[in-house]
């Protein structure tokens, strides 16, 4: 399938013709525009992961692990765990107190929760060690050794016409997900759950953001 505005690079999957700035400003959290019907090729995701693990990690330890889920029964079980956590977090009183903009985002998140089992593939990034009760410094170092690689993975997906969304709600039941997938919970931490699918269209735009002057501080707050 040829995607408009894309190019084929020898030895790699189809790559969209995006400048670096376009890639950085149009990699969105994709929920409603995930294509549940189109299969995702394993080799495309592996290529994205090869790029992702070029990201820096603390002391170059590279303690990350990448759990990819394609088996329908396991996807359905993970989706059940996710929905249970989602329902517990977004209680009726919480939803009722949302602003119009918050409600719009919630509806998109609920759509994903309702359809999560339909995505072709899921990813749970993990890293050796638990950080429960760790200091801020320890946690910063821990997450800083994994999250750059996860973001690189999302950028690589976008460049190949796929999308994802960083979700964390299932982590309220991290033990259950670990048990389902054989992840050694006592010595390995999950960072989230990422649906993976081709996107319906590739015409994503930069998001609205507030002025930098409101959040940038030079030399002092």
Angle (CA) 162-165-167 rounded to 5° is 150
DSSP secondary structure of 165-200: --B-GGGGGHHHHHHHHT--GGGEEE--BEEEEEBS
Reported as a single tens digit per residue, the pLDDT across 170-181 is 999 999 999 999
Tally of helices (H runs) and strands (E runs) in the chain: 8, 7
pLDDT-derived band at 14 (thresholds 50, 70, 90) equals confident
Model's pTM, two decimal places? Answer: 0.92
Q: What is the pLDDT of residues 89-123, one digit of tens each?
A: 999 999 999 999 999 999 999 999 999 999 999 99
């Amino acid at each position: 399938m040829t995607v408009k505005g894309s190019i084929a690079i020898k030895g790699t999957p189809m790559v969209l013709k995006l400048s670096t700035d376009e890639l950085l400003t149009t990699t969105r959290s994709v929920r409603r525009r995930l294509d549940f019907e189109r299969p995702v090729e394993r080799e495309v995701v592996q290529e994205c992961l090869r790029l992702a693990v070029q990201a820096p990690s603390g002391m170059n330890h590279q303690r990350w692990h990448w759990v990819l889920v394609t088996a329908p029964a396991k996807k359905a079980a993970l989706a059940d765990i996710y929905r249970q956590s989602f329902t517990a977090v977004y209680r009726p009183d919480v939803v009722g107190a949302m602003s119009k903009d918050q409600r719009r985002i919630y509806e998109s998140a609920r759509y994903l929760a309702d359809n999560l089992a339909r995505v072709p593939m899921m990813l749970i990034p993990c890293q050796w060690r638990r950080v429960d009760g760790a200091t801020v410094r320890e946690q910063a170092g821990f997450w800083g050794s994994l999250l750059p690689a996860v973001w690189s993975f999302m950028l690589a997906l976008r460049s190949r016409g796929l999308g994802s969304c960083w979700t964390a709600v299932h982590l309220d039941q991290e033990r259950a997900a670990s048990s389902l997938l054989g992840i050694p919970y006592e010595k390995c931490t999950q960072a989230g759950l990422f649906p993976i699918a081709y996107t319906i269209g590739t015409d994503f735009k930069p998001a609205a953001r507030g002025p930098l002057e409101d959040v940038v501080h030079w030399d002092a707050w």
